[in-house]
């Protein structure tokens, strides 16, 4: 056989995190977001983006004070929905932390995978109104590229000159975890040296609030938004919609060390699975979630007892939280009682396709600073939720390995493991 077509064995390179960013209801960068998360501050407030009169739910985790002007030229901004603005700003912040510059030689070995759950729903609403009120000639020529999910990764790739793989993964609320996991695979296989990855979402808008409320998925605690997201609490009544992004710079350890990059931690495990059960409800005993965690542990070469902390999916729904707790018990056995578990959606709300990215940032900073954020609003755990959920106050301790779970509609599950570099 001509050697040109022979398959060469793939290396198994170690993958590290050299930069992160966050734009969230808790802050406009990773450090502000992290500081407020450790304080147990809620980012959930009354909605200001539109008039909520007549809506069953009137609150969300909105981004306050963000402007894309520092990151995107004015003339380019109108070509993009807000989820793309977040992705571009987040990428540039993460690259700044990583001290990463993309040379012409490096560009083909830099990829971009950014998870997006729903894409440009606010622009769809806006342009549909123009269509109905003023006719088809008034629809923007930028409408399509502003709303399709892959333009988060596409616009980032263009902006930074990354010429490796470039696409978005859409797998509901697991989009970001799957994106980070697949980016990890590109590096450890030797295809890429650097990956920009994570998730971005901006769907605090009328259709999303009305749609999720119609499903009875959202909390209706309109009189107390700050206490509405309450994972594992017996009075939990649904999730709170949030928005924002989390972006990670991943590199091979070899590449990061060669250029003297700051290294925050190592990404050591990834697992993905399907429930094949129901389009919204988890499988009995969250069997799919169990398998995602077990696959991540196997990939990392770790036992459940090695995990010090879990940033759980923990959406604050009556069914989901109890089943996730059961899944942890099934996977961890006796170690389930010892692992610290945080439900940070209690502070940020549920960022849908970006949730796993923001929560990965929390995992990474937990390892960096040896502290884990709390689950706020947890005053009376329900009977089926009897593990250590780090209630209401952050906790310091030895944090070597952290597990991050994300589960989504369609029965899709993803788990990541981040580890202190050894």
Whether 378 contacts 228, CB under 8 Å: no
25-37: burial string, b at 16+ Cβ within 10 Å, e else? bbbbbbeebbebb
H helix runs in 259-319, sequence order: 287-300
- Round to whole Å and give the CA distance between 174 and 282: 13
243-268: burial string, b at 16+ Cβ within 10 Å, e else? bbbbbbbbbbbebbeebebebbbbbb
Q: What angle do CA 195, 259, 404 make, to 5 degrees?
A: 40
Whether 300 contacts 274, CB under 8 Å: no
Q: Cβ contacts of residue 360 below 8 Å, gap of 6+?
A: 20, 176, 177, 180, 198, 246, 248, 311, 404, 416, 418
Displacement of CA 146 from its chain's centroid (Å): 21
Query: Which is the catalytic residue, given 313, 363, 385, 401?
Result: 313
Displacement of CA 82 from its chain's centroid (Å): 16
- The interaxial angle of helices 355-369 and 30-38, nearest 10 deg, is 70
Active site annotation includes 313: yes
Query: Which is the catalytic residue, given 173, 205, 249, 265?
Result: 173
Beta bridge partners of 22: 246
334 burial (CB, 10 Å; 0-12 / 13-18 / 19+) is exposed
- Round to whole Å and give the CA distance between 364 and 419: 8
Query: Which is the catalytic residue, given 350, 363, 385, 401?
Result: 350
Active site annotation includes 350: yes
Whether 381 contacts 366, CB under 8 Å: no
- Given its phi and psi angles, is residue 368 left (phi above 0), alpha (psi -120 to 50 degrees) or beta? alpha
Q: What is the DSSP letter of 21?
A: E
Q: Which of 305, 327, 346, 349 is nearest to 405 (CA)?
A: 327
The DSSP result for 167-232, as a single string, is E---BTBTHHHHHHHHHHHHHHTTS-SEEEEEEEE---SHHHHHHHHHTT-B---TT-GGGT--TT
Whether 252 contacts 13, CB under 8 Å: yes
Whether 179 contacts 93, CB under 8 Å: no
Whether 404 contacts 311, CB under 8 Å: yes
**Positions marked catalytic:** 173, 313, 350
């Amino acid at each position: 056989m001509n050697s040109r077509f022979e398959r060469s064995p793939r290396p198994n390179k170690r993958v590290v995190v050299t930069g992160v960013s966050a734009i969230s209801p808790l802050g406009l960068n990773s450090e502000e977001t992290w500081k407020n998360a450790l304080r147990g501050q809620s980012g959930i407030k009354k909605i200001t983006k539109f008039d909520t009169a007549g809506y069953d739910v009137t609150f969300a985790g909105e981004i306050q004070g963000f402007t894309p002007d520092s990151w995107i030229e004015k003339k380019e901004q109108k070509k993009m929905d807000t989820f793309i603005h977040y992705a571009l700003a987040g990428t540039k912040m993460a690259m700044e932390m990583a001290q990463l510059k993309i040379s012409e030689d490096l560009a083909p070995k830099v990829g971009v995978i950014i998870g997006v759950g729903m894409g440009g729903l606010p622009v769809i609403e806006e342009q549909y109104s123009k269509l109905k009120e003023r006719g088809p000639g008034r629809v923007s020529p930028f409408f399509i590229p502003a709303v399709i999910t892959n333009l988060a990764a596409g616009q980032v790739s263009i902006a930074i000159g990354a010429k490796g793989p470039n696409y978005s993964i859409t797998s509901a609320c697991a989009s970001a975890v799957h994106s980070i996991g697949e980016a990890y695979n590109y590096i450890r296989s030797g295809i890429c040296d650097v990956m920009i990855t994570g998730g971005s979402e901006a769907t605090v808008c009328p259709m999303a609030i009305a749609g999720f409320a119609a499903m009875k998925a959202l909390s209706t605690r309109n009189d107390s938004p700050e206490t509405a997201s309450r994972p594992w609490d017996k009075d939990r009544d649904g999730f709170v919609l949030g928005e924002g992004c989390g972006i990670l710079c991943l590199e091979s350890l070899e590449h990061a060390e060669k250029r003297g990059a700051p290294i925050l931690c190592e990404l050591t495990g990834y697992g993905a699975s399907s429930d094949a059960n129901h389009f919204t409800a988890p499988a009995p005993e969250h069997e799919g979630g169990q398998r995602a965690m077990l696959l991540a542990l196997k990939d990392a070469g770790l036992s459940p007892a090695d995990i010090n902390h879990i940033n759980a999916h923990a959406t604050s729904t009556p069914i989901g939280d109890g089943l996730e707790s059961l899944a942890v018990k099934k996977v961890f056995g006796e170690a389930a009682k010892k692992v610290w578990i945080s439900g940070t959606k209690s502070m940020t709300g549920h960022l849908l396709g970006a949730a796993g990215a923001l929560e990965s940032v929390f995992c990474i900073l937990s390892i960096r600073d040896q502290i884990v954020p709390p689950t706020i609003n947890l005053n009376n755990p329900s009977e089926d939720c009897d593990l250590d959920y780090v209630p209401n106050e952050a906790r310091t301790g030895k944090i070597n390995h952290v597990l991050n779970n994300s589960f989504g509609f369609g029965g899709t599950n993803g788990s990541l493991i981040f580890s202190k570099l050894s």
